[in-house]
Amino acid sequence: MNSAIGPYKGGRRFHPSVNLDILKFLAFEQTFKNSLTSLPMGSGKGGADFDPKDKSDAEIMRFCQAFITELYRHIGPNLDIPAGDIGVGAREVGYMFGMYKKLTNEFTGTFTGKGFAFGGSRIRPEATGYGCVYFVEEMMKTRHSGLEGKKTLISGSGNVAQFAARKVLDLGGKVLTLSDSSGTLFFPQGMTEEDLLHITELKNKPGARLSEATQYLNAEYLESQRPWHIPCDIALPCATQNELDEDNARTLIKNNCQVVAEGANMPCTLAAIDIFRDAHILFAPGKAANAGGVSVSGLEMSQNSLRLNWTSGEVDERLHSIMQRIHHSCIEYGTVDGTTGYVRGANIAGFVKVADAMLAQGVV
């Protein structure tokens, strides 16, 4: 899509919904998200309409190998660095990297999201969730507050949601919910570290549902309900696109929610975002709030180039610093007459860097 500030960088998606229009849209959004990180990364997106659901491990491996057999000529550590996305996790990245290595006879940092044993980065699975909470922490500071004791609703129960919950607990917040496609797991007294550990173990079992967790956790399962009707201070939609609509937005405002940050990609509808803006709710768009994942992908690229492995603490410190810089950019470009619009700030800050680079490089 764009390589003005660095090599093409974006995820590869395996899902039946994949088509050219979707990939172009996602790559366009990726342009500004990558720009916000301040790392030298351009943007791209790719994938196939292959559905890995209900496929055997061998079938998935063979598809990944066939996919790279066609793609390998067009990627490289200084050209295009793919990563994972929907349907493409560490297993699939490993299969694709292995085939790329066989075809090129090179061990290079051509992929991110790799296993740690062969060039991956520490805390890559945690990065999006951690980064989202770091961004919220900066937002709360603008109102002279913090996460200590704040009631937090989190939707989803995958990597992003689990690690967002982990970081909220670390910073003293109270996590009230996680969810899946069938309903919401509600902790009236707040989730404990032990609760989160049980949920993580449960989610590692194929086909497991959150409703099963009520057997051994002090929680209620709200069948077929989203979490947004529960009173809270902070809402983190971390599940899927368009999961939080205008009715949910009005309910959150009525219940005195102060901050909404998108942990997933575009989980809030445009109507919901307009309602948050009109109510002067602190709202962080995904291109800023969930940039932690691609930020650590960029840090993985750096480690591969340097032939180094940083510790978890070193990567986490760099991630925290990146999210603080993104927040600062949103404030710088999004503040008008003393009021900050994070959507405006993220869009302008991301655009300006790319546009300046393109103008400086001339018409080529």
CA distance 35 to 350: 5
pLDDT-based confidence at residue 86 (cuts at 50, 70, 90): confident
172 belongs to an annotated ligand binding site:
no
- CATH architecture of the domain 8-118 equals 3-Layer(aba) Sandwich (3.40)
Residue in this structure with the two tokens 């300006």, named with its chain if needed: 352
| Predicted confidence (pLDDT) at residue 167 exceeds the cutoff of 70 | yes
104 belongs to an annotated ligand binding site:
no
Q: Which residues pair with 80 in a beta bridge?
A: 8, 76
| Predicted confidence (pLDDT) at residue 14 exceeds the cutoff of 70 | yes
| Predicted confidence (pLDDT) at residue 79 exceeds the cutoff of 70 | yes
204 belongs to an annotated ligand binding site:
no
- The answer to whether 238 and 154 have CB atoms below 8 angstroms apart is yes
CA distance 273 to 160: 21
pLDDT of res. 112? 96
CB atoms near residue 153 (< 10 Å): 27
Q: What is the per-residue pLDDT across 255-285, written as a single tens digit (0 to 9) for each?
A: 999 999 999 988 999 999 999 999 999 999 9
pLDDT-based confidence at residue 9 (cuts at 50, 70, 90): very high
- The answer to whether 293 and 171 have CB atoms below 8 angstroms apart is no
Q: Mean pLDDT, to the nearest integer, of 205-210? A: 84
Catalytic pick among 24, 45, 174, 205:
45
CA distance 331 to 338: 10
Q: What is the separation, in whole angstroms, between the first and last Cα of the chain?
A: 15
pLDDT-based confidence at residue 206 (cuts at 50, 70, 90): confident
- The answer to whether 106 and 72 have CB atoms below 8 angstroms apart is no
- The answer to whether 150 and 174 have CB atoms below 8 angstroms apart is yes
38 belongs to an annotated ligand binding site:
no
304 belongs to an annotated ligand binding site:
no
Q: What is the per-residue pLDDT across 24-54, written as a single tens digit (0 to 9) for each?
A: 988 999 999 999 999 999 999 999 999 998 8
Q: Mean pLDDT, to the nearest integer, of 211-217? A: 87
Is 353 annotated as catalytic? no
CA distance 349 to 35: 8
159 belongs to an annotated ligand binding site:
yes
For the chain, give every residue range classified as CATH 3.40.50.720: 122-358
Looking at 28-32, 86-90, 296-300, which range is the least confident one?
86-90
In CATH terms, the fold of domain 122-358 is Rossmann fold (3.40.50)
Nearest to 297 by CA among 67, 6, 74: 6
In 3-state terms, what secondary structure has residue 4? Answer: coil
pLDDT of res. 364? 67
- The answer to whether 267 and 243 have CB atoms below 8 angstroms apart is yes
| Mean pLDDT computed over every residue of the chain | 95
| Predicted confidence (pLDDT) at residue 205 exceeds the cutoff of 90 | no
Percentage, residues of the chain above pLDDT 70: 100
For the chain, give every residue range classified as CATH 3.40.50.10860: 8-118
157 belongs to an annotated ligand binding site:
no
- The pTM (predicted TM-score) of the whole model is 0.94
Q: Mean pLDDT, to the nearest integer, of 318-324? A: 98
Residue in this structure with the two tokens 């969930």, named with its chain if needed: 290
